[in-house]
Amino acid sequence: MFTDFVAHLRAALPAGGNYLSVDTYSGAAGFRDSTGAYLGFFDIGGLATYVDSFFVMAYDMEYSNWDSPPLRCPSFCLGPTAPLTNYLFNDSRASSEYRAVVAASKVIMGIPYYGRKECVAVPDPNQIPPNAVGNSVGADGYLDASTEYTYPGNTTYARHRDANDPSGATEWDTFSSVSAGCNREMYWDDTVSLGNKYNLVINDHLRGLGSSP
């Protein structure tokens, strides 16, 4: 029904000068059964006839990666919101799956300009946030995440890189937060990890990248 809606939307647009893009999630092009039928919400192949591009929302993957290798956490744990490789869901996989179905020139890779942070027991990677409600953790926009180390109430600040995905190099930081009253852990994409995603877009000849603040 969604494909039919988009087809009608395309037909109703004025001739010439129009541009139609659809937001889809990172795994949408890969969830297919043995017959090739799509198992998710979007029929990427069917939609490709009617859209100029797909904005692939390639983030919030930590909510699907925590129980799979390389993490295998017993419950939700902190991790990269958009790993480049190695995790079950990652940007390289999303690019590959979309390019197997549609032209690379139709794919816009959505990049996260934010991070996730929460109270943790110890400053080790991939901690399980004890206070997370429904696996929901706090979001930090890029400006806040990139300046957390400057806040007077944040002490014992330490920066790290995700060892599970060296080519992605997602930054994760630990610090003691006076305002939150706990030790915090934050995974976010800085200029280094963002640059690695930009290179993926360039090397895979995608249409471009978009941002999610």
pLDDT at 168: 98
pLDDT reading at 40 higher than 80: no
Q: Poorest-confidence range of 17-21, 81-85, 136-140, 199-203? A: 136-140
pLDDT at 133: 59
In terms of pLDDT, which residue wins out, 55 or 30? 55
In terms of pLDDT, which residue wins out, 39 or 174? 174
Tokens of 111: 């990049």
Could you tell me the pLDDT band of residue 87, with boundaries at 50, 70 and 90? very high
The tally of domains found in the chain comes to 1
* pLDDT, mean of residues 58-71: 95
Model confidence pLDDT, tens digit, residues 162-197: 999 999 999 999 999 999 899 999 999 999 999 999
For residue 169, give its domain range.
Answer: 2-212
**pTM to 2 decimal places:** 0.92
Using alpha carbons, select from 26, 27, 25, 115 the residue that is nearest to residue 78: 115
What is the average pLDDT score of the chain?
Answer: 93
pLDDT at 132: 65
